[in-house]
A and B are shown apart, each in its own frame.
Chain A
Amino acid sequence: MMLRRKFLSIAGAIAGIFLAPPLTAAELLSPADAANWLQKISDASRRMAYEGVFVVQHGSAMQTLSVTNRPTGSTKDSHLSALDGNQREIRCTQSGSLLRVTEGGQVKTEKRLNNRHFPDLLPPNAAALANWYSVKLGEWARIAGLECRQVEIVPKDAYRWGYVICADKDSSLPLKAVMINEAGTPLMQYAFAEIRIGGSPKAETQTSLDTWRMPAQAATTRPIGTETISVSHLPPGFSRVAAVRRTLPNPSGGLRKPGEVEHWVFSDGLTYISLFLEPATHPISSVRGQSKQGMINMVTRQVGPMQATILGDAPWATIEAVATGLETRSDSPDLRGAAK
Chain B
Amino acid sequence: MKHIETTRQTMPTTQAQPAHEDMLALNLSALIDGELPDNLANQTLKRIGNDAVAQAHIADFLTIGDAMRGLSTPPGDFTDRVMLALKNEPVILAPMHKASNRRPVLWLAAAAMTAITWGLWQSSPNHDVNVPLAALKPADTQSAQRNTDSLPYLAAHQDFTQAVVSAPEMHFSNASLEIRQ
State the A residues within 8 Å of B (CB): 56, 58-59, 61, 63, 65, 80, 82, 85, 88, 90, 97, 112-114, 116-118, 121, 188, 190, 232-233, 242, 246, 248-252, 254-256, 263, 265, 267, 272, 274, 276, 285-293, 295-296, 298-299, 301, 309, 311-313, 320, 323-325, 327
- CB contacts (< 8 Å) of A254 on chain B: these are 148-149, 151
Does A248 lie within 8 Å of B153, measured CB to CB? yes
Q: List 23 A-B contacts (CB under 8 A).
A: A118-B162, A121-B162, A188-B162, A233-B180, A242-B160, A248-B155, A250-B152, A252-B151, A254-B148, A265-B160, A272-B157, A274-B160, A285-B174, A287-B127, A287-B146, A287-B174, A289-B171, A291-B170, A292-B169, A293-B168, A296-B154, A311-B150, A324-B178
Does A313 lie within 8 Å of B153, measured CB to CB? no
Does B172 lie within 8 Å of A295, measured CB to CB? no
- CB contacts (< 8 Å) of B159 on chain A: these are 97, 112-114
Cβ contacts B86-124/A at 8 Å (1 or 0 each): 000000000000000000000000000000000000000
Q: Closest B residue to A97 by CB, please name it.
A: B159
Roughly how many angstroms separate A188 CA and B166 CA in the complex, as a whole number? 13
Interface membership of B39, Cβ < 8 A: no
Contact A286 to B162, CB < 8 A, known contacts A249-B156, A250-B152, A274-B157? no
Interface membership of B141, Cβ < 8 A: no
Does B154 lie within 8 Å of A263, measured CB to CB? no
Q: Closest B residue to A116 by CB, please name it.
A: B162
State the B residues within 8 Å of A (CB): 126-127, 146, 148-157, 159-181
Does B165 lie within 8 Å of A288, measured CB to CB? no
Contact of A288 among B153, B160, B175 (CB under 8 A): B175
